[in-house]
């Protein structure tokens, strides 16, 4: 469902160091060069090196570009909708062209529809699409609820950037009188701007996302509050802002080409509970993520933290987990 | 149609629904099978938008607070319409709920010695509102969702829109729902049902609530013949941001914010001398509307809305960031105003449904026969009217209410399931569900020509204009006429989207039907209550009339007619007195 296998190459980026070491080894061995086996090994190394460089560019250089490896076709035609709208404008009200790239579940293609709509300076992208839905095209599907940036429903891609539609002002984000809205493509597509979150939720559920206490009876009876200092609170507080909107997963270049990687949202929540002084699962949480498919697949591209609308900084949380694991494995703690 | 069998089905995934699921699961030793059916993703319910905090007497010794005082504040806030036995349950149990949330991971703001911090709130004599910045509801929701995920015996059905409650002889039989992902129709058969779908403030256009607060569960119960209580009491939150209606928490005033009119005066001095900005919400909302009507407000250029100022500019920036970070962020993002530098434009907006499904103090839904609960049915949270809030809720009591009655219902369910015989005719339920499926399919194929969104627009305009903070009989009569007209037009709606995948057009059409039904109940109750009490302020009847109206309105559907009746208010300790702040 996700990406073409070609770009699995990016998975090998962390291995860049391996061919380099092998090259050094081979240079030492050049003196003995001459057997066929050596030549084969040399060619294999060269291939791996090219692969790694390409994937490095994929992950670190091109991450702002819409992913070219996306296994999704786009219909080149644009369907223009015409509606009778009041066309008077002033400094507070303008006519904006909204281009919505809608996923068609039948054709499995993205189809661009364009609408003209009156927008005032307070309109968010969400307000604007709802206005279109109510007056011009009731078939548009999108997810929304609180419209104040806390329920996490309306993650989508506006002018190429993963954002919450309800927090994105149209006037401030339009380019030459138009704005382009597309679904997140880091999750399976369902319809129009709506994506499927089942896989995302099961990843979150897989990391034991709750306070673990040795004494469950005491936990649930809750006769007395746990004492927690302001300093202890500050250790996990930023990571507890996660609204599960899925934008970090959409932005992450690694999880999008390597479905085995659990992704930034789930890992940030491991850190959220691990850093909470009330949690007693302790190092078991570190064991849980000390795996190639968990923290060690993170390449620290930082796209997740850049995309997060609530300032969670999943990239930091993953590096903190890595640091703790390394410290523990080397017996420092 | 897919038929699913569970021990208990919980409709709604907000604070009420998820606390019920947790306590039912724990009490049943994780052995009973529970389904949570929600029209959203479970962690996105409107409870996430609760900002200010949750009330409870946590440290009576240190603060000289008592549960009696909490209970009395609540009763007085309710303008004596609350049932006092219910209020005592709330005050007695609320602190335990705050500690429960501490144990499942809510990031409470803390005092210097690591205890849970509390702040002042409207109508509360002592600071007793525990809070996690101004995202309290959000943190509670995340903690609850994360707990539910780990339980193992609770299946969550995300994005399933409920269309009907099936009952037989006063007993719960099943619940039908549409899976939004693929429009598959499902019947959930269970012994117990808990409705926890929240309020219906979206009958108004200018509201603090989420687009999803459409009172679906209340409407379904009403259509199933269950009684609704006190629906005319709609809380208007005094400080909603103009023009979006986004909530600016009461905590902004709890932390020291001022309300000012266009002369810069702190006008609350005239309306509630002792409490000032921290008077209960009905009083503050009326004060704001009065200031505006008497020409001391501002007018918003783009929307034409009148407003006054909420002034936080004298508060320390650090305090704002530690205790009110979200409203600062929201103001900057939505209207480009930093409350630290400039006052915020605010006006009252529909916020909370004090009324709801008629339940007893155990949270059980009352059946047709007075005094007898329907078998196997509970309603918790905003959709259930116990009544602890009477005619006006105090800020931060709603989160306690959701949690307290979520626990009561959850704890009762395993015993009920064990004692309830099977007895029901499963095949008959299936055939009734098939009829319901046919009704939905007919709606999709209907040849009408009315755009449901136009009906929604005129409904919201009607309610905003005619059933607002102050009400007049002739305006209410006009509103009744308009709602009846909308109901007629609803028969001819057209659903444009015929697809199976995420058909939100169909969902919206059903929601709008729910809203129109509930608006009818709100307006009718308001017309019949010829007094001013709490949030229901009648211009012709400016006084509270205990002799004739110290009673709860009960609205019930018989055939196609709405029938109103009244039941007495339970008074235990506190005789009604004049309400002065």
Nearest chain B residue (CA) to A203: B149
Collapse the DSSP code of B485 into the 3-class scheme (helix H, G, I; strand E, B; otherwise coil) and give the result: helix
User: Which of A92, A139, A143 is facing B497, going by the closest CB pair?
Assistant: A139
Q: Is B314 on the interface with A (CB under 8 A)?
A: no
Task: Give the global pTM.
Answer: 0.92
Per-residue model confidence (pLDDT) at position A84: 83
Q: Is B444 on the interface with A (CB under 8 A)?
A: no
Residue pair B411/B405 in contact by the 8 Å Cβ criterion = no
Nearest chain A residue (CA) to B157: A198
Nearest chain A residue (CA) to B110: A230
- For residues A118-155, one letter each, b for 16 or more C-beta atoms within 10 angstroms of the residue's C-beta and e for the rest, the string is bbbebbbbbbbbbbbbbbbbbbbbbbbbbbbbbbbbbb
Neighbours of A330 (CB within 10 A): 8
pLDDT band at A295; cut points 50, 70, 90: very high
Count of A-B CB contacts under 8 Å: 175
Cβ neighbourhood burial of A229 (10 Å; 0-12, 13-18, 19+)? middle
Q: How far apart are the first and last CA of chain B?
A: 57
Residue pair B54/B94 in contact by the 8 Å Cβ criterion = yes
Contacts of B72 (CB under 8 A, 6+ apart): B574
Residue of B22 and A39 predicted with greater confidence = B22
Contacts of B247 in chain A (CB under 8 A): 148
Residue pair B390/B78 in contact by the 8 Å Cβ criterion = yes
Nearest chain A residue (CA) to B134: A150
B 384-413 residues with CB < 8 A to A: none
Give one DSSP letter per residue of B346-373, joined into a string.
EEEEEEEES-EEEB-TT-EEE-SSTT-E
Please give the positions of B annotated as active site: 237, 253
Instruction: Give the percent of chain A with pLDDT over 70.
Output: 84
Check pLDDT > 50 for residue A3: no
Per-residue model confidence (pLDDT) at position B542: 96
Per-residue model confidence (pLDDT) at position A9: 44
Do the Cβ atoms of A147 and B244 come within 8 Å? yes
Do the Cβ atoms of A220 and B102 come within 8 Å? no
* Nearest of A183, A169, A156 to residue A122 by alpha carbon: A169
- Residue A108, token pair as written in the block: 């499995």
Per-residue model confidence (pLDDT) at position A69: 43
Residue pair A247/A231 in contact by the 8 Å Cβ criterion = no
Give the helix ranges, DSSP H, for A99-185: 125-135, 170-173
Nearest chain B residue (CA) to A279: B105
Do the Cβ atoms of B99 and A138 come within 8 Å? no
Do the Cβ atoms of B48 and A138 come within 8 Å? no
Model confidence pLDDT, tens digit, residues B314-359: 999 999 999 999 999 999 999 999 999 999 999 999 999 999 999 9
User: Which of A120, A151, A225 is facing B44, going by the closest CB pair?
Assistant: A151
User: Which of B146, B453, B508 is facing A210, going by the closest CB pair?
Assistant: B146
Contacts of A191 in chain B (CB under 8 A): 499, 501-502
Contacts of A163 in chain B (CB under 8 A): none
Contacts of B445 (CB under 8 A, 6+ apart): none
Do the Cβ atoms of B329 and A146 come within 8 Å? no
Check pLDDT > 70 for residue A205: yes
pLDDT band at A71; cut points 50, 70, 90: low
Q: Is B564 on the interface with A (CB under 8 A)?
A: no
Residue pair B250/B395 in contact by the 8 Å Cβ criterion = yes
pLDDT band at A28; cut points 50, 70, 90: low
User: Which of B96, B211, B457 is facing A145, going by the closest CB pair?
Assistant: B211
Nearest chain A residue (CA) to B144: A210
pLDDT band at A272; cut points 50, 70, 90: very high
pLDDT band at A58; cut points 50, 70, 90: low
Residue tagged 């850093």 (tokens): A275
Distance between CA B270 and CA B267 in Å, rounded? Answer: 6
Contacts of B255 (CB under 8 A, 6+ apart): B119, B315, B319, B323, B324
ipTM: 0.95
Per-residue model confidence (pLDDT) at position A81: 87
Check pLDDT > 50 for residue A6: no
Q: Is B43 on the interface with A (CB under 8 A)?
A: yes
Q: Is B499 on the interface with A (CB under 8 A)?
A: yes
3-state helix/strand/coil string of A211-243: CCCCCHHHHHHCCCCCCCCHHHHHHHHHHHHCC
Residue tagged 């493509």 (tokens): A185
Mutate which of B22, B41, B62, B155 to disrupt the A interface (most A C-beta within 10 Å)? Answer: B41
3-state helix/strand/coil string of B154-194: EEEECCEEEEEEEEECCEEEEEEEEECCCCEEEEEECCEEE
Angle at A259 between CA A53 and CA A181, to 5 degrees: 90
Q: Is B155 on the interface with A (CB under 8 A)?
A: no
Check pLDDT > 90 for residue A258: no
Distance between CA B544 and CA B550 in Å, rounded? Answer: 9
Give one DSSP letter per residue of A34-58, joined into a string.
--HHHHHHHHHHHHHHHHHHHHHII
Mutate which of B206, B207, B211, B301 to disrupt the A interface (most A C-beta within 10 Å)? Answer: B211
Distance between CA B315 and CA B294 in Å, rounded? Answer: 29
pLDDT band at A5; cut points 50, 70, 90: very low
Model confidence pLDDT, tens digit, residues B495-531: 999 999 999 999 999 999 999 999 999 999 999 999 9
> Residue B207 gets which letter from DSSP?
B
Contacts of B504 in chain A (CB under 8 A): 141-142
Residue tagged 């780990």 (tokens): B150
B 2-41 residues with CB < 8 A to A: 26, 40-41
Per-residue model confidence (pLDDT) at position B239: 97
Note the Cα B68 to chain centre separation in Å. Answer: 25
- Residue A202, token pair as written in the block: 């099961």
Contacts of B44 in chain A (CB under 8 A): 145-146, 151-153, 244
pLDDT band at A305; cut points 50, 70, 90: very high
B571 torsion bin: left (phi>0), alpha (psi -120 to 50), beta (else): beta
Per-residue model confidence (pLDDT) at position A62: 52
Residue pair B390/B82 in contact by the 8 Å Cβ criterion = yes
pLDDT band at A18; cut points 50, 70, 90: low
B 180-199 residues with CB < 8 A to A: 181
Check pLDDT > 80 for residue A52: no
Nearest chain B residue (CA) to A220: B100
CATH class of A197-218+227-332: mainly alpha
Model confidence pLDDT, tens digit, residues B549-566: 999 999 999 988 999 999
Q: Residues in chain B with pLDDT < 50?
A: none
User: Which of A141, A229, A276 is facing B504, going by the closest CB pair?
Assistant: A141
Mean pLDDT of chain B: 96
Do the Cβ atoms of A152 and B44 come within 8 Å? yes
Q: Hey, CA dihedral for A112, A114, A119, A121, is it positive or negative?
A: positive
- Residue B363, token pair as written in the block: 């949270």
Residue pair B465/B445 in contact by the 8 Å Cβ criterion = no
User: Which of A169, A229, A278 is facing B105, going by the closest CB pair?
Assistant: A278
CATH class of A93-191: alpha beta
Residue pair B236/B249 in contact by the 8 Å Cβ criterion = no
Do the Cβ atoms of B158 and A197 come within 8 Å? yes
Distance between CA A249 and CA A264 in Å, rounded? Answer: 6
């Amino acid at each position: 469902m996700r990406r073409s296998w070609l770009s699995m190459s990016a998975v090998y980026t962390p291995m860049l160091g391996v061919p380099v070491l092998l090259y050094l080894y081979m240079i030492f061995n050049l003196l003995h060069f001459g057997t066929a086996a050596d030549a084969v090994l040399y060619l294999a190394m060269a291939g791996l090196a090219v692969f790694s460089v390409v994937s490095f560019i994929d992950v670190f250089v091109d991450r702002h570009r819409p992913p070219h490896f996306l296994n999704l076709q786009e219909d080149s035609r644009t369907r223009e909708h015409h509606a009778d709208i009041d066309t008077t404008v002033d400094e507070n009200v303008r006519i904006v062209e909204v281009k919505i790239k809608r996923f068609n579940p039948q054709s499995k293609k993205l189809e661009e529809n364009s609408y003209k709509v009156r927008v005032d300076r307070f309109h968010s992208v969400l307000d604007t699409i709802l206005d279109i839905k109510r007056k011009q095209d009731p078939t548009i599907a999108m997810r929304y609820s609180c419209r104040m940036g806390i329920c996490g429903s309306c993650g989508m891609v506006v002018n190429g950037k993963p954002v919450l539609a309800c927090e994105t002002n149209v006037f401030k984000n339009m380019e030459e009188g138009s704005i382009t809205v597309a679904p997140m493509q880091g999750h399976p597509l369902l319809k129009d701007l709506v994506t499927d979150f089942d896989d995302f939720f099961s990843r979150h559920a897989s990391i034991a996302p709750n306070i673990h206490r040795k004494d469950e009876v005491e936990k649930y009876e809750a006769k007395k509050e746990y004492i927690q200092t302001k300093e202890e609170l500050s250790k996990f507080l930023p990571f507890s802002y996660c609204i599960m909107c899925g934008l970090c997963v959409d932005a992450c270049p690694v999880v999008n080409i390597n479905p085995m990687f659990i992704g930034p949202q789930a890992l940030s929540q491991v850190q959220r509970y691990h850093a909470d002084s009330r949690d007693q699962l302790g190092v078991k949480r570190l064991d849980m993520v000390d795996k190639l498919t968990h923290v060690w697949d993170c390449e620290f591209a930082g796209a997740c933290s850049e995309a997060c609308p609530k300032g969670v900084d999943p990239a930091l949380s993953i590096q903190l987990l890595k640091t703790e694991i390394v410290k523990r494995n080397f017996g420092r703690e | 149609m897919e038929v699913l069998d569970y021990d208990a089905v919980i409709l709604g995934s907000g604070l009420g629904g998820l606390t019920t699921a947790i306590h039912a699961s724990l009490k049943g030793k994780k052995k009973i099978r529970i389904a949570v059916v929600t029209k959203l993703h479970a962690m996105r319910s409107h409870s996430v938008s609760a900002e200010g905090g949750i009330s409870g007497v946590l440290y009576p010794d240190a603060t000289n607070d008592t549960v009696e005082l909490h209970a009395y504040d609540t009763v007085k806030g309710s303008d004596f319409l609350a049932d006092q036995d219910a209020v005592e349950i709330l005050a007695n149990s609320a602190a335990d709920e705050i500690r429960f949330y501490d144990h499942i991971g809510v990031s409470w703001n803390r005092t210097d010695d690591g205890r849970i911090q509390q702040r002042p709130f409207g109508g509360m004599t002592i600071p007793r509102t525990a809070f996690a910045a101004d995202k309290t509801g959000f943190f509670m929701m995340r903690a609850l969702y994360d707990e539910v995920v780990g339980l193992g015996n609770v299946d969550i059905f995300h994005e399933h829109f409920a269309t009907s409650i099936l009952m037989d002889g006063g007993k719960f039989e099943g619940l039908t729902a549409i899976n939004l992902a693929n429009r598959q129709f499902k019947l959930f058969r269970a012994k117990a049902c808990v409705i926890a779908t929240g309020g219906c403030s979206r009958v108004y256009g200018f509201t603090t609530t989420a687009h999803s607060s459409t009172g679906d569960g209340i409407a379904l119960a009403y259509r199933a013949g269950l009684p609704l209580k006190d629906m005319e009491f709609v809380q208007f939150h005094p400080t909603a941001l103009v023009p979006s209606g986004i909530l600016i928490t009461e905590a902004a005033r709890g932390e020291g914010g001022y309300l000012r009119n266009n002369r810069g005066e702190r006008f609350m001095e005239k309306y509630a001398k002792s409490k000032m900005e921290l008077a209960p919400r009905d009083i503050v909302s009326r004060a704001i509307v009065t200031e505006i009507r008497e020409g001391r407000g501002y007018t918003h250029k783009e929307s034409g809305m009148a407003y006054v100022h909420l002034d936080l500019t004298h508060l320390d920036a650090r305090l704002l960031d530690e205790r009110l970070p979200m409203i600062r962020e929201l103001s900057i993002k939505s209207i480009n105003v930093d409350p630290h530098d400039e006052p915020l434009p605010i006006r009252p907006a529909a916020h909370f449904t004090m009324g709801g499904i008629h339940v007893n103090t155990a949270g059980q839904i009352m059946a047709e026969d007075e005094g007898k609960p329907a078998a196997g049915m509970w309603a918790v949270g905003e959709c259930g009217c116990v009544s602890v809030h009477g005619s006006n809720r105090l800020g931060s009591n709603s989160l306690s209410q959701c949690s307290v009655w979520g626990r009561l219902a959850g704890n009762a369910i395993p015993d009920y399931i064990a004692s309830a015989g099977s007895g029901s005719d499963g095949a008959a339920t299936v055939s009734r569900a098939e009829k319901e499926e046919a009704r939905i399919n007919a709606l999709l194929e209907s040849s009408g020509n009315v755009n449901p969104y136009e009906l929604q627009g005129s409904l919201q305009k009607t309610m905003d204009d005619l059933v607002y903070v102050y009400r007049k009989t002739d305006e209410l009569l006009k509103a009744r006429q308009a709602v009846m007209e909308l109901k007629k037009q609803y028969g001819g709606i057209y659903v444009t989207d015929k697809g199976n995948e995420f058909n939100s057009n169909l969902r919206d059409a059903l929601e709008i039907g729910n809203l129109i039904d509930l608006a009818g109940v709100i307006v009718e109750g308001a017309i019949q209550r010829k007094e001013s009490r709490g949030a229901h302020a009648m211009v012709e009847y400016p006084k509270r009339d205990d002799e004739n109206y110290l009673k709860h309105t009960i609205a019930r559907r018989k055939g196609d007619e709405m029938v109103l009746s009244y039941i007495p208010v339970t008074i235990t300790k506190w005789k009604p007195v004049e309400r002065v702040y």
